[in-house]
Amino acid sequence: MPYSDYRTALVTGASTGMGAAIVEQFRERGLEVHAVARDAERLRRLADETGAIPHAVDLADVDALERELGGLEIDVLVNNAGVSATGNILDASRATVDAMIDVNVGAVLHLARLLLPGMVERDLGHVINISSIAGRYNFFGHTAYHATKAAVGQISRQLRNDTVGKRIRVTEVCPGRVETEIFGRNLGGTPEALQQAWETYYEGYESLTTADIVSTVDFAVAAPRHVNLGLIEITPTFQVAGGLTFDRREA
């Protein structure tokens, strides 16, 4: 099992949800894990509980990324952090568009730039990029989010080209709706917003859970070393991407 090949991992968006759960799984597998997020207090608690190494860094701050993470020797990189927003491009603010570009795309590229050369030199590594079905299918959502998640898919494929001939695997995990805090954060992040998000998006639905995503990541990393699982699309059984909208305009 390739977990025995690896010694270190780095997980972004590690303070909550899928990121924190992946950190816990990697620690149970015996990896030294660098946990990256903006929330220093949540990272501290995660570090106390798991033994992970916390890095309170804003992924949009490239200078901070280089200072804090540039010298690390990482075998498994999980680009899990993501930014979303309500509405669409018609009512988008400059700040929300910039945040999605900086975190969803920029941080993925910069972390690859910083950490992938070491993997190539050691002839060993695994990059796992968490994207979204929003990057593969068109539905009513924020245009910038769809565009950035589509970019993650292209980056994932391109990294395989960049490292061909080396024992480096790249996996894009493409989830449908997962029970996380993302909708609640989009609505303001208050307890009331989290409750509203639960009632709107999760109550009565059989959504994916963080455990489902952790199992998927674990399966990809634990695959035989000659096997690269390039794309794993995982959705709830009752969630499908389909249909066509043709809006009739009255004269």
What is the chain written as a DSSP string?
-GGGG--EEEEESTTSHHHHHHHHHHHHTT-EEEEEES-HHHHHHHHHHH--EEEE--TT-HHHHHHHHTT---SEEEE------SS-GGG--HHHHHHHIIIIIIHHHHHHHHHHHHHHHHT-EEEEEE--GGGTS--SS-HHHHHHHHHHHHHHHHHHHHTTTSSEEEEEEEE--B-SSHHHHHTTSSHHHHHHHIIIIITTS--B-HHHHHHHHHHHHHS-TT----EEEE--TT--------PPPP-
Position 186 pLDDT exceeds 70? no
Does the domain formed by 2-233 have CATH 1.20.1050.10? no
Mean pLDDT of the chain: 93
Residue located via tokens 């991407």: 241
**Confidence at residue 141, expressed as pLDDT on a 0 to 100 scale:** 87
pLDDT at 82 over 90: yes
pTM for this predicted structure: 0.92
* Confidence category of residue 240, pLDDT binned at 50, 70, 90: very high
User: What are the structure tokens assigned to 1, written together?
Assistant: 């099992």
Contact between residue 231 and residue 174 where contact means Cβ atoms under 8 Å apart: yes
Report the pLDDT averaged over residues 157-170. Answer: 98
Provide the residue ranges of all domains of the chain, joining segments of one domain with +.
Answer: 2-233
145 is catalytic: yes
**Would you state the pLDDT for residue 184?**
61
Q: What is the pLDDT of residue 233?
A: 98
- Catalytic one among 6, 137, 145, 201? 145
CA distance linking residue 248 with residue 190, whole number of Å? 39
How large is the average pLDDT for residues 29-33? Answer: 98
Span 121-162, pLDDT tens digits? 999 999 999 999 999 999 888 999 999 999 999 999 999 999
pLDDT digits (tens, 9 = 90+) for 188-231: 767 777 787 777 777 888 899 999 999 999 999 999 999 999 99
